[in-house]
Every structure is written in structure tokens, then in C-alpha cells.
Amino acid sequence: MESLKLISVASSSGNYTSNFTHLYKIRPTKEDSQAIRRQKLLEQQKKFRNNLQDSSRILLLAQCEDEEECKPKRKSKNVSTKNVSAGSISKQLMFSEWMEELPENFENDWLMVLCPVGMRVLIVASRGRTKVITKRGRCLWEFQSALPGGNNAFSQIFKSAYTILDCIYSETTETFYILDLLAWGNQSFTNCDTEFRIFWLQGKLLEYPELGLRNIRSNLYPFTLLPYFTCSKESISNALTNWPFFNDNSPKVDGLLFYHKNAAYTAGFSPTVLWLLPFMVQEVICSDAIVNDKYLKERPIDYKGQKVFIHTFNEEHKKKKYKKEHSHSIMMEMQIMNDNSTFTANTEMDVEHN
């Protein structure tokens, strides 16, 4: 398996569903192709590689503490959540775009990750506690972890550190699968390229093996770094013929993320991170790639090709988004009307009383 040496290493259309709906860019710009936008972004990142603004942004995020604490995770699914500085926290994650076409120098410049089904979260370990925050800035719960800054039992120096990870949480295994790194031990890595961020994570997980173990007091939820694979035909084939990819197929594979090796970690949607479903690999990447039949069977019965699939998905997603926003707008209008009615009634009562 041609994964990197030190590594232990979506959406609905037809009858296919995915938990990665939020990873997709619905409306890419028409003026520039994905390749042109990617090249512009890489050039811009290279030019401002030493810009310290990103470091300040990460420091701000780590110090962004609300007055109240998050609640510990409950067994019930009805876990109360609250907004924890959504304006800053929810804007830190980097999201992918659909792979519209095969990028140039794909085999040499890109890395592939098989993503598990789960919830995309930002892990923020700071001031002796570890918070689980959604892409919308909701703090789901907090716990004690072995991450720098994430445990009250650590020494004061270690506890004053902060760590920020981009993860996928699987309820089936109660494990955080690490996708990427934003900060570790008071040091920002958002300006570093993908290869270096992975290299650093690999080294740190070897240095802190306790992160991979479940410990009620010091590391309640295990952390596992997802394997990154090179993008040669052989490497991709080896990864996709290996089924199930996760032990006992738990969690299941949701899709494939592709990272440009030289890209920095940028907030928002990025053409340097691309998304593809396993059954599209032979069509988009390489017709000779070997893909396990289990993945190919996930292809919708009415599948008419990648471009049609993406177009259909985008249209369905826009309708759902419009319906959700329209419903929210109606609820707000009703609330305002109710508030106005209450105000009018109270005013009339005051007038009558006077």
C-alpha cells in the first residue's frame, strides 16, 4: 500500500446519500475554471507564506472562551448545545469542492484520504479542556484529552498551550479521526503546506501514543490520524481494493478527499481540496484503477455520469437550502408578529388601565 511512509498509515443524488454534504461547493465561479482558481490561490499562498495574520487568527480562536462551559456529552441524543463564538470559530474549517476534472500533475502533487462516515468538527484544546465544535460554531460537549492544553491534570505550562484539529467524529466507534492540523502547542500550522502538516501530526501521534487510547480520566475519546495515500494508480487501487477499509466496516467509508501537497490550510471552500465518491474514480481519475465491487455497488441505479450526478446534487441541495431558509424566514416573521401582538395588547391594557 503506497501510503506516506510515516503514516500508520456528500450529499444525495438518486439513491446515494452522504454525510459530507457540507463539504461541497455548490456554485463554483463560472469566470475561472477550478484549475485557474487553484493556481491563483497557490501563487497567493506562496507569496504570503510568511504572513503572520493567520497565526493571530488561530490565537484568537484558541483564546475565544465563552463565559459558560460546554456540557459533558450525554447518552441521550438530545444534547443541549449553544453557540460558542460562531462568528469566529465556525469560519475556520477548510471545505472541499467537487473534483470537476482531473488536476494537472495529479499523481505528483496530490494526496488522497478515505473519509469515514461521521460529523465534521473542530477540536479546540485550550485552558485545560477540549471542546467539540461544529462547522456552525455549536459547542456540542467538552472533555479531558491528552492534547496539549486539553486536560486540567497537566502541568500549568502544558495546560496553557492550545491545539486545534480538523476531525471527523464517528458515533459508532466514539473516535475522532484527524483530517488536518491548524495549531499544536501554541504554534499555528495554517501557513504550512499539507505535506508538512501531515508530517508533524504523524510525529506527534507517535510522541503521544496515549492519544490513540481511551482513558476515562485523561483521554476520553481516542484520536486516530487518517492515512494519506499518494495518487499514483497503484496507490489508489491498493486503497480502494482494501475492503472494508476500517475494521468491521465501522465506520463506513463516505468518500474521498484529495489535498494538494503544497497548499496552506485556508478557511472556507478551497479548490486545493477536492471531493469524489469511490464509484467515480474509474471515470474521473483512471479507467484502469481497481475499485472494490462494494464501492461500485453504491453507484445510483439511474447514474448518468459524474457531471450529471454533481449537477443533480447541486440542484437538490439548492432546493433544500432554499426551503430551509424560507422556513426560517417564515418562523422569524411569525415571531415578530407575535411579539408585536403582545406589545400591542400590553399597550392597550396600559391605556385602559390609565
Q: Are residues 183 and 311 in the same domain?
A: no
Q: Which segments of 49-141 does DSSP mark as H helices, in order?
A: 53-62, 86-89, 106-109
Which residues span the domain enclosing 310? Answer: 306-354
Whether 3 maps to a domain, the answer reads no
Whether 14 maps to a domain, the answer reads no
Tell me if 93 sits within 8 A of 153, measured CB to CB.
no
Q: Are residues 56 and 113 in the same domain?
A: yes
Whether 10 maps to a domain, the answer reads no
pLDDT for position 26: 46
pLDDT for position 287: 92
Residue 35 neighbours by CB under 8 Å, 6+ apart? 101, 103, 104, 271
Q: Are residues 235 and 335 in the same domain?
A: no
pLDDT for position 28: 52
Q: Give the phi and the psi of residue 218 in degrees, each rounded to 5.
A: -110, -20
Q: Are residues 290 and 317 in the same domain?
A: no
Q: Are residues 193 and 328 in the same domain?
A: no
**Block residue for cell numbers 460546554:** 70
pLDDT, one tens digit per residue, over 202-255 is 999 999 999 999 998 899 999 999 999 999 999 999 999 989 999 999 999 999
Whether 259 maps to a domain, the answer reads yes
C-alpha cell at 254: 463516505
Q: Are residues 152 and 261 in the same domain?
A: yes
Distance CA 264, CA 272 (A): 9
Instruction: Please identify every stretch of the chain with a pLDDT value under 50, giving residue numbers as ranges.
Output: 1-16, 20-27, 29, 65-68, 75-87, 325, 328-329, 332, 336, 342-345, 347-349, 351, 354
Tell me if 162 sits within 8 A of 148, measured CB to CB.
yes
Whether 11 maps to a domain, the answer reads no
Question: Which of 277, 303, 329 finishes a domain?
Answer: 303
Q: Are residues 51 and 117 in the same domain?
A: yes
Q: Are residues 341 and 227 in the same domain?
A: no
C-alpha cell at 297: 455497488
Whether 1 maps to a domain, the answer reads no
Whether 16 maps to a domain, the answer reads no
The domain total for the chain is: 2
Tell me if 299 sits within 8 A of 279, measured CB to CB.
yes
In degrees, to the nearest 5, what angle opens at C-alpha 97 toward C-alphas 101 and 139? 165
10 Å CB burial of residue 172 (0-12, 13-18, 19+) is middle
Tell me if 161 sits within 8 A of 167, measured CB to CB.
no
Distance CA 228, CA 209 (A): 19
Question: Which of 261, 282, 303 finishes a domain?
Answer: 303
Whether 9 maps to a domain, the answer reads no
Helix (H, G, I), strand (E, B) or coil at 304: coil
Q: Are residues 110 and 148 in the same domain?
A: yes
Q: Are residues 139 and 247 in the same domain?
A: yes
Distance CA 82, CA 77 (A): 15
10 Å CB burial of residue 230 (0-12, 13-18, 19+) is middle
Helix (H, G, I), strand (E, B) or coil at 257: strand
Q: Are residues 88 and 218 in the same domain?
A: yes
**Block residue for cell numbers 446515494:** 16
Tell me if 121 sits within 8 A of 145, measured CB to CB.
no
pLDDT, one tens digit per residue, over 310-345 is 988 888 877 776 555 455 445 545 554 565 554 444
Q: Are residues 295 and 322 in the same domain?
A: no
CATH of the domain at 154: 3.30.470.30
Question: Which of 287, 303, 319 finishes a domain?
Answer: 303
